A = this chain, B = another copy of it.
Amino acid sequence: MKNLIVGQSGGPTAVINCSLYGVIKEALSNTSQIPVVYGMLNGIEGFLKDTVLNITEDMSEETLEGLKITPGAYLGSCRYKLPEDLSDPVYPELFKKFEQYNIGYFFYIGGNDSMDTVSKLSRYAAAHGSDIRIMGIPKTIDNDLVLTDHTPGFGSAAKYVATTVCEIGIDASVYDSKSVTIVEIMGRHAGWLTGAAILARKYEQDNPVLIYLPEVPFSQDKFISQIEENLKTRNNLVVCVSEGIQDDKGTFICEYASDAGVDNFGHKMLTGCGKYLENLVKDRLGIKVRSVELNVSQRCSTSCQSLTDAMEAETGGRFGVSKALEGQTGMMTAFVRNEGDTYGLSYTLVDVNEVCNKEKTVPTEWITKEGTDLSKEFINYVLPLIQGSPSVPTKDGIPAYVYRR
């Protein structure tokens, strides 16, 4: 009989706590094998400082259920990278702590970097004959993990982007005059989330008209001429850009912005590419232009949580625990989309070493119209992931989020 410890790492999402819920619920339902469920506070970094929560004893049923609609990372997060050198003293230190808490199951919920942690710990365990089962649960709004159809967190972020871009388009279209609205969307290297803006279109030709992904080299001149061209036949243009767009020299467009402005403290004004492009349009075309940075709400909005995403996150967490109990280790829960026209998902495990430090971008053949639009295949891929809305309990008019104090 060994205990389980679970932690969260990297940037938060709208459903990372659903994954946590799944891991906890499945573990709590196996008390004969898992006497105590622990949570690391602030991931592996907090664990090294012994900040550990006894979930079995100290988490109320109400809090546990509330996790499903609470964004952020309930246990706290960290951005701690374990050393490459497995002979570093931090490893025996960690495994001594595991022993101290009688840990037999280690779960880490996170993205690329977190899977790197899972990889290193599982390799160390294997090399030192430890039987602790080290498992990864995927999470990232960027949807850039390989070997899984998609990642928990992406569906809700995509739903936020689609809904918000649609609302911004409605808002931007109320006046009978020419205007450009530039929406900057998260995703430094992969355009999945920016691409999801296409789901905002209510009919063909509707906004957003132009969508720029980081997968396609960005040309400022072409951008301006594409806007000019589209303004010939319509009034209000909504344009979506990934924060990570870069030109053919590999320079991020937002870097041009930071080269540009110097504030009156003598510092560079760091702004995103949206603000930079707003100024570019104003300069070149002299028309009304606004930029909107969707910012952190993309990854923490409960109002736009996708029920599909939430349920898949929970099931993925449960699946990982059930497989660890069967003896698996060094694996990450992954999603396999079922064949056929009706959306359905199967769960599997993949070798975490094959996942970490790799990146899945949008296939080139799904990017159309000179890099400004997305294909039907892309829409068919994303659409099922944003379906359904959870029933959200409220307190004083806002969602009844749960919290640690």
Question: Which residue numbers of A lie inside 8 Å of B, CB to CB?
Answer: 8, 12, 41-42, 45-46, 70-73, 76-79, 159, 162-164, 166-168, 170-176, 199-200, 202-203, 256-257, 259-265, 267, 269, 271, 275-276, 279-280, 282-283, 290, 292-293, 295-297, 299-304, 306, 383, 386-389, 394, 396-399, 401, 403, 405
Question: A114 to chain B: closest CB distance in Å?
Answer: 13
| Bound Cα distance A398, B389 (Å) | 10
Contact of A203 among B42, B293, B299, B405 (CB under 8 A): B405
**CB pair A296 B301 closer than 8 Å:** no
Q: Report whether B256 and A260 are in contact in the complex, using a CB–CB cutoff of 8 Å.
A: no
Number of copies: 2
Do B304 and A303 touch across chains, with their CB atoms under 8 A apart?
Answer: yes
In the complex where A162-B398, A302-B167, A401-B170 touch, is A42 in contact with B202 (Cβ < 8 A)? no
Beyond A42-B176, A159-B397, is A170–B72 a contact (Cβ under 8 Å)?
yes
Taking the closest CB of chain B, its distance from the CB of A10, in whole angstroms, is: 9
- Do residues B261 and A398 form an inter-chain contact, with CB atoms below 8 A? no
Q: Which residues of B contact A386 (CB under 8 A)?
A: 397-398
* Contact call A394/B389, Cβ cutoff below 8 A: yes
Closest approach, in angstroms, between the C-beta of A288 and any C-beta of chain B? 12
Interface centre among A297, A306, A388 (most CB of B within 10 A): A297
Select from chain B the residue with minimum beta-carbon distance to A392: B389
State the Cβ distance, A347 to closest chain B Cβ, in Å. 22
Closest residue on chain B to residue A201 by CB atoms: B396
